[in-house]
Amino acid sequence: MSKKFTKYLRLFHRYMTLPFVAATIMVMGLKINNPILVNVQKIMMLTLAVSGTIMYLQIYYRKYFGKKKKI
């Protein structure tokens, strides 16, 4: 995976957490039952889960497909 992809994925993941937390507080804490807000929260949760999984698996991807040392 390229370094640009990794950089922008981390930025995307970082900046999506604040709106996700705000939406979660509105839905669960304030008990606002707006169906659009609930659907937005579900979509944001799914995108954060996918981007977090990709960032987690990048370590193993680089280990496996990284440059091999010549002995």
Q: What share of the chain is helix, strand, coil (3-state, %, to 5)?
A: 80, 0, 20
pLDDT tens per residue across span 17-63: 999 999 889 888 888 788 888 898 899 999 999 999 999 999 898 88
**Nearest-5° Cα angle at 47, 7 to 14:** 40
Q: How far is CA 33 from CA 3, 12, 41, 46, 60, in A?
A: 40, 27, 12, 20, 41
For residue 61, the model assigns a pLDDT of 87
DSSP state, 10?
A: H
Instruction: Please indicate whether residue 50 or residue 67 has the higher confidence score (pLDDT).
Output: 50
* Single pTM value for the model: 0.76
- From the list 40, 45, 48, 37, the residue with the least C-alpha distance to 9 is 48
Instruction: Please check the confidence at residue 71 and state whether its pLDDT lies above 70.
Output: no
